[in-house]
Amino acid sequence: MDLREEHGRELERVTGERFPLAQMLLIAFIAGALPIELHYYPAHRDTYVAVLAGEVVLSLVAYLALRRWPERARAIAVAWASAMALCVLAYYPLVDGDATLALAALLCLISAMPALLPVGLWHQVVLCVVCSAGFLGLAALGVRSSLPWPYLVVALGAVGSLSTLGASSLVRYRLEAVQRESVLRQAQDNLYVALRRAEEAVEMRSRLVANVSHELRTPVNVIIGYSDMVLDAVGDASLVRSLTRRIREYAMSLDALISQLLDLSRLSCGKLDVAREPVDLARLVEDVAHDARLLVRGKPVEVVAECSVPTIVSDAMRLRQILNNLVTNAARATASGRITIAAHADRDAVVLTVRDTGCGIPPEEHKRIFDAFEQGARADAGAGGIGLGLAIVRQLVELLGGVVSLTSEPGAGAAFTVRLPRAAVDEARAASAAPRAPGDAASLGGGCGSAL
């Protein structure tokens, strides 16, 4: 429907552009016939000039109407052509002319309209009906004819029918051309989008290789270094324990990074299933807060857990990963102050909020920061990582049927809000009793190791 409306507007525009040329051609044709008319019928001069002047006035009025109503260009053009035809027909009774010549003029006008202007089927029908009625009026007035009237009527009907079919075909071909052009334009746009996505994928792969190679090399080098130190300090038990603890910390960091990459791959491929079962949300929030206190140990940062929703039907593993990723970012970006982990009900939804008093995030980075391998001001403040944590959060939240948003200003901390649907506990119990696919229990890993 929109395409047809666009096609109709295009026809009106083309008619408006060509209409002045059609007027000039027709007036030039009539004026050019004046010397011939004067040569053979000199007594017709005054009548011919009067009719020509009337046609010029009609053309001027039609042109002004077109300027006033350009969206009705085709209707104005048909009204003008019909009036011109009646003026031509009126000339012959006035000069006692031959109806055969009047027919010749009508046939020229009827056949020229579809060639000059993109009039449609009904526009051409109106013109043919007006011309036919005027020509039959000549017969009623008793205008003489050098040919039998039945021949003239048949000729007028044949040319009128063919011109009407031609006008309809031209408009239909124009519509088909517009449709093909629209399809080609859509295909071109799709190709541009695919090309842009391919370029972005290549760029993302390059960034992935660069970032991951750096992030993997750092813990691996540290693990190798500490392992050599352990070998050299076999006799010192306390030093061995200290070095072994550091080796374990960096090994866990390396495991978290690998888990993040696997999570992102599974989410991107849509091969991650979720469980639907009752979740003790209050306990989960408190567990995440406990892990957060370990992360900020040694810093003047208070971690507060607030939960007014005892139970939610969702996937406990995915919820824990979402909160852990957000809390880890908050812990790394907050040097002092408070981190609040809250959960409350809002009508048919559960709202999870992780708020910190850290460095904050500029508004221009709020949307970009949820993309993979994107790091903003918090990374500069020491958040570290390769930019996967929030990308995984966004995809996990969408997988659970929710949305995640960010409110933050530089220097004023950040608040990440996750809004999830809340289902009935009875439904959850029924879902948990049903057989589950093996993939439902697959661990995503990467709890507190997620980074922005």
Q: Which amino acid is at 251?
A: A
Are 408 and 360 in contact, with CB atoms under 8 Å apart?
Answer: yes
Q: Which helix (DSSP H) or strand (DSSP E) does residue 228 occupy? A: helix 149-232
- Per the listing, tokens 């629209």 go with 182
Q: How many residues does the chain have?
A: 452
d(Cα 146, Cα 131) in Å, to the nearest integer?
20
Kindly tell me if the per-residue pLDDT of 56 is higher than 90.
yes
Predicted pLDDT of residue 341:
93
Structure tokens at 221: 């080098």
Kindly tell me if the per-residue pLDDT of 349 is higher than 60.
yes
Q: Report pLDDT digits (tens) over 305-341.
A: 999 988 888 888 889 889 988 998 888 888 889 999 9
Report the mean per-residue pLDDT for the chain.
Answer: 80
Mean pLDDT, rounded, for 206-234: 68
d(Cα 425, Cα 439) in Å, to the nearest integer?
23
Kindly tell me if the per-residue pLDDT of 127 is higher than 70.
yes
d(Cα 154, Cα 173) in Å, to the nearest integer?
28
d(Cα 23, Cα 117) in Å, to the nearest integer?
11
Q: Report the range of poorest mean pLDDT among 39-43, 154-158, 356-360, 369-373.
A: 369-373
Burial of 233 per CB tally in 10 Å (0-12, 13-18, 19+): middle
Mean pLDDT, rounded, for 290-301: 86
CA angle, 318 then 344 then 395, to 5°: 30
d(Cα 406, Cα 420) in Å, to the nearest integer?
15
Return the number of other C-beta atoms located less than 10 Å from residue 367's C-beta.
Answer: 10
Q: Which domains does the chain have, with CATH numbers?
A: 2-187 (no CATH), 277-441 (3.30.565.10)
Nearest to 164 by CA among 131, 106, 122, 103: 122
Q: Report the range of poorest mean pLDDT among 73-77, 124-128, 361-365.
A: 361-365
Strand, helix or coil at 331? helix
d(Cα 43, Cα 450) in Å, to the nearest integer?
102
Predicted pLDDT of residue 265:
65
Structure tokens at 18: 């060509």
Beta bridge partners of 321: none
Q: Which residue has the higher pLDDT, 164 or 262?
A: 164
Nearest to 420 by CA among 362, 349, 367: 349
Nearest to 144 by CA among 88, 101, 85, 84: 101
Q: Collect all residues with Cβ–Cβ distance below 8 Å to 393 and sequence separation of at least 6.
A: 322, 325, 326, 370, 404, 416, 418, 450
Q: Which residue has the higher pLDDT, 249 or 118?
A: 118
d(Cα 84, Cα 416) in Å, to the nearest integer?
74
Are 84 and 58 in contact, with CB atoms under 8 Å apart?
Answer: yes
Q: Which residue has the higher pLDDT, 448 or 188?
A: 188
Kindly tell me if the per-residue pLDDT of 213 is higher than 80.
no
